[in-house]
Structure 1
Amino acid sequence: MYNVLNKINGPEDVKKLSLEELNELAEDIREGLFHRLTKIGGHFGPNLGIVETEIAMHYVFDSPKDKFVFDVSHQSYPHKMLTGRKLGYIDDAHFKEDSGYTNPEESEHDLFNVGHTSTSISLATGLAKARDLLGKKENVIALIGDGSLSGGEALEGLNVAGSELNSNLIIVVNDNQQSISETHGGIYKNLKELRDTKGNADNNMFKAMGLDYIYEENGNDIEAMIRVFEKVKDIDHPIVVHINTLKGKGYQKAIEDKENWHWVLPFDKETGKTTISFDGSEDYTSIAREYIMNKAKEDKAFMVITPNMPASVGLSQKDREALGMQFVDVGIAEEQAVAMAAGAAKQGAKPLVVTNTTFMQRCYDQISHDVCINNSPVTILLNYTSFDGLTDVTHLGIFGLSAFSNIPNLVVLCPSSKEELVSMLSWSVDQKEHPVMIMLPGNKVTSRNADTSYDAIHTFKVEQEGEKVAILALGDFYQRGEELAQKMKETFHIQPTLINPRFASGMDIKLLEQLKENHELMITLEDGILDGGFGQKIASYYGDSNIKVKNYGLQKHFYDRYDPEELLKQEKMDTQSILEYIKSVL
């Protein structure tokens, strides 16, 4: 096994191979992908489909002198195996050495640590412009695919490449007819027209932007890809190389169900079933999905908008079909999703925007400007808001609270139970006074009575009356607050006041004043970074009083591939560490 791959320690070794050996190398790489992904999961379909292209890239070009920029970079696993990191795929002991994205700390062949979409062309234009400015000579190659062309930045990059550069820039458009889910938008209609005419359609968006263009139908054929890359190598102007590939090539299940095989949990290769067992209990994603489907049936003014992330709330293809006109996927374009929601709300609809927190970071201005200045009643539901959700540095959800809770007019809600999530969604979608963001909890589902209205903005809920110490535990950290309160009673024989803030965007001034009467210490717990977060608002309010405030949250730091429970201990956010602090104060 791995007869050819074992000989590859860098791109220079790829150049020594015959065509027959190159094709054997492709099979070895796919086996390496299976070895890693069946055991620890990761991006599956995108990498299976790009194997031959990346072999040809390294056969023709001269990395790292020639610069490769990968869009999203979740299609860079074959590239990693060809640049000295094969052990991260074929040897279990080395899995942790290799991230799921390009990473300059791993190799000189990786230029950027990126995991968000539509950035490669823009990054490449900067590389090309600086190369020209400094009098250097090398190829700059941007590889973009998996629906990334639907992102606005990709179009901005194409626009600049076609008008402002008059030197080498090679944009490889990996057209596998799929995004995370299906593709959406007029861009993909034009790609189909170009595929159907083998690149000869009069309607060519790339040429319309001033770019040269070449089409290769056989993107999974190494010999064909070598020919096309040799043709464009050292070209003296920007060109788009449009290649037709098969996402999931080498595994029939991934070809037949491209959406569910885009990213996978560990699985059994023979059956295709995950090897991770679940306890069968409900989760917050499925609860949100159930609310959406029921609401759509009863209220025709309700609509769901997503930037190609229907899975963030568990909406299957069947669900999306059932929603019909009440569902819009705008492609990987968060700005469009939020601005469209603002327009829909203005017209009287009830829009709900759904995606993951990390992706909504790209949309700060549309939330602030298009929605909040206009006080549009748009609801935004974000998943993976938690420290123990996505732990890769490119996909962290821990910055959402501080990023969004300080936008004027935006009401940020953090439910702590199943009932609160449903009641917050119901209230938010139907009310007409506020833009609202709801952070989907990241912990196990809990059940507790909830209010049906949140009209009294920024009113906290006292769940347990106590004295001396007040615990304000926000969102999915509320259960940690419950545990802390119980341990305090057992350890110190003190019953603290336990508060469920619910609102992250403001303070309950009346309650905070009342707490001054018989409390000495405030403990705040939040699932996000401290800087600009909920706890700092509380600390600031008590700044000129005798009340002591201790904030617990994460540091303003790019954590990467960490163990969540170990991180809590490291930051002294675990219950035992907090108890020790309280003991030192009391």
Structure 2
Amino acid sequence: MSTPATPRPVTPLLDAIGSPADLKALKPEELVQLAQEVREEMIDAVSTTGGHLGAGLGVVELTVALHHVFDTPADRLIWDVGHQCYPHKILTGRRDRIRTLRQGGGLSGFTNRFESEYDPFGAGHSSTSISAGLGMAVARDLAGGKNHVIAVIGDGAMSAGMAYEAMNNAGAMDSRLIVILNDNDMSIAPPVGAMSAYLSKLISSKSYVSLRHLLKDLSSRFPGPVKRAAQRAEEYARGMVTGGTLFEELGFYYVGPIDGHQMDHLVPVLKNVRDHGEGPVLIHVVTQKGKGYPPAEAAADKYHGVARFNVVTGAQEKGKPNAPSYTGVFAKALTAAARTDDRIVAITAAMPAGTGLDVFAREFPARTFDVGIAEQHAVTFAAGLACEGYKPFTALYSTFLQRGFDQVVHDVAIQNLPVRFAIDRAGMVGADGATHHGSFDLCYLCCLPNMVVMAPSDEAELVHAVATAAAHDSGPIAFRYPRGEGTGVPLPETGEVLELGKGRIVRNGRGVALLALGPILHQCTLAADDLQAHGLSVTVADARFAKPLDAALLADLASRHDVLITVEDSARGGFGAMVLTHLSDTGALDGGLKVRTLGLPDSFIEHESPAKQLELAGLTARQIAARVLDILGHAQPETGSASTGSATPA
């Protein structure tokens, strides 16, 4: 028996908000009520769409206060990462579409410049807000503008070096930039109360700022040593009380910490900062993930990103899996390998659960390293471990490995160090959309000397890939695998060490050859079924490796087929380009072999269902078969052929 639907929340104040301008006239008690209504609206919306929940609930009061105090969109409000932007979307004219979040044609799960003028900067990766905000602030100053620029960044995102690079730059400039540090993990500050709120109001006020400037002016009249001592005494005295010494050293004027759920604390401080002072300022706001929704408060990690859920119970509607996830298979295979090899260590960048390394960590805590949101450091840290004879497995999402590309080149590939890269979320990822697709790893890894690149076609092949990587000590090696469930094939007890660069034929035919890399192999097999119904005999091969290529397999396919099509769920310039170059260099194209490469289009595919994204990319079995028939000049497949009903996305 299904649970009856919960009624929509009653939101009289929110119903009257058409844009942030409508918040200006609200009284303090009305702001508090509005925040509660926004919270209830967000919970109800995300319960039907899924998405990021905990972070947004934690910034509801802050969001209301910011739009009440500042004049957006003229004042630029930048949300770092975008996990917490749902309340912002509700208040900026998008409430009527909030139940389309992360759906095809609906609102993005992140800020998006193409979606609203209230989103001045798009973000799906963390730690970009301060850099972007500083650029906007400098542009404002060059143009003679007077608007404010506010960057909201979480304490987790502050673990990335880019945030400190930006702060170091901003601290050396005079441009007015407001940075709000949303500390929702208690990693910086202890719980705050009335005294810290009072101090924050005081040090952000006109009188205090003026006094500080007076003291600086007076100290400038003293000799150098006395001047420096006076300046440091004032800053360190305030730092001892408020905890802001680090930010002061970076050149920011520090205010905080303040309770991010108390409107009477937030609004006065934001107004003071808006109206007084110059140069960069950092406001330290302490919030609670999942605030106001008991299930999310009790388990912030489980309610960071959620599926659809029951508002009353908090129970998420997760379907029973048909097969283990690729991430889970990787974690188990790596853990098993580590039991027999104590040199295996695992590294992640703030994603232990997302990459499956929480499983590894439970058995080998001393050999698991979470370095925070610091992919560049993760790669070079792994290189250092490899120098000393260890076997580092660096598990990162494909989209995040992009941030460590220079380190892959300079610190790993050039030195030919045996760092293992486990690349999760390769290919398209569904509702997270363009910022999170793993579209480019084949392009930027296959071009590197010394690099070995694998792409297992199913979860059993992934087990073999882990074993192969563990055994490979002569240089760097990477293996990529998608988000979601495997295909349901039986899993081997132990992985087989594969011969490097050796592919396999899974279906023999003649005339047409489909050479697949990765789980897209399943679509190629279904396409071969379609083509067989049209009287065509098709060979289907699993490349297994994008680099090195199987030269013998390519020579065989080229010699006995008229058409060869490579298929990959990656941007052009990766596997297909490698195959074309090889065939050209070996003269295999001279005999009239028709070669086509299928991959992701030269465009960014937005959030959609995985099946729809595969169709948009032109990589369904039906579309692959149609491409073959088009090359051969045959009629197109009829609707209802083998690939149209049960074809599942790779």
Counterpart Cα distance in 1 of 2:63 and 2:536: 64
C-alpha distance 580-62 of structure 1, shift in aligned 2 (>3 A) = closer
AA in 1 matched with 2:424: N
Q: Which runs of 5+ in 1 are unaligned?
A: 179-187
Q: Which runs of 5+ in 2 are unaligned?
A: 1-9, 197-238, 633-650
Counterpart Cα distance in 1 of 2:312 and 2:431: 28
Give matches, 1:261-410, under 5 Å. 261-316=303-358, 320-389=361-430, 391-410=432-451
**Does 2:478 correspond to 1:437?**
yes
Among 563, 576, 579, the alignment partner of 2:622 is 576
Counterpart Cα distance in 1 of 2:541 and 2:84: 45
Counterpart Cα distance in 1 of 2:392 and 2:448: 19
Identity %: 34
Give matches, 1:558-577, under 5 Å. 558-577=604-623
Cα deviation per residue 1:118-146 (whole Å; 9 max; x = unaligned)? 00011111111111112111111110005
Counterpart Cα distance in 2 of 1:435 and 1:385: 18
Contact 2:174 2:278 in 1 (8 A): yes
Contact 2:46 2:99 in 1 (8 A): no
Counterpart Cα distance in 2 of 1:92 and 1:525: 31
- Post-superposition offset of 1:57: 0.7
Counterpart Cα distance in 2 of 1:95 and 1:477: 22
C-alpha distance 360-195 of structure 1, shift in aligned 2 (>3 A) = farther
AA in 1 matched with 2:512: V
Look up the match of 2:189.
Answer: 192
Counterpart Cα distance in 1 of 2:100 and 2:555: 59
Contact 1:14 1:82 in 2 (8 A): no
Counterpart Cα distance in 2 of 1:460 and 1:93: 37
Among 511, 518, 521, the alignment partner of 1:468 is 511
Aligned residue pairs total: 570
Counterpart Cα distance in 1 of 2:73 and 2:259: 26
**Does 2:494 correspond to 1:453?**
no
- Post-superposition offset of 1:446: 4.2
Counterpart Cα distance in 2 of 1:93 and 1:281: 25
C-alpha distance 97-572 of structure 1, shift in aligned 2 (>3 A) = closer
Look up the match of 1:135.
Answer: 144
- Post-superposition offset of 1:389: 4.2
SS of the residue aligned with 1:59?
helix
AA in 2 matched with 1:208: E
- Post-superposition offset of 1:391: 4.6
C-alpha distance 107-515 of structure 1, shift in aligned 2 (>3 A) = closer
Counterpart Cα distance in 1 of 2:392 and 2:379: 9
Alignment TM-score, normalising by the size of structure 1:
0.92
SS of the residue aligned with 2:174?
coil
Look up the match of 1:184.
Answer: none
Contact 1:415 1:441 in 2 (8 A): no
Look up the match of 1:551.
Answer: 597
- Post-superposition offset of 1:539: 2.7
Which piece of structure 1 moves more, 355-364 or 503-512? 503-512
Contact 1:32 1:89 in 2 (8 A): no
Give matches, 1:241-260, under 5 Å. 241-260=283-302
- The structure number with the bigger radius of gyration is 2
Counterpart Cα distance in 2 of 1:269 and 1:314: 28
**Does 2:177 correspond to 1:169?**
yes
Look up the match of 1:183.
Answer: none
Alignment TM-score, normalising by the size of structure 2:
0.83
Counterpart Cα distance in 2 of 1:390 and 1:526: 20
Counterpart Cα distance in 2 of 1:517 and 1:90: 54
Look up the match of 2:215.
Answer: none
Cα deviation per residue 1:214-265 (whole Å; 9 max; x = unaligned)? 1033111112100110111143111110111111101122122111111111
- Post-superposition offset of 1:474: 0.9
**Does 2:528 correspond to 1:485?**
yes
SS of the residue aligned with 1:542?
helix
Contact 1:542 1:549 in 2 (8 A): no
Look up the match of 1:58.
Answer: 67
Cα deviation per residue 1:267-293 (whole Å; 9 max; x = unaligned)? 112222212322453221111121233
**Does 2:120 correspond to 1:111?**
yes
Cα deviation per residue 1:28-81 (whole Å; 9 max; x = unaligned)? 111111111111111111000001011111111111111111100221111111
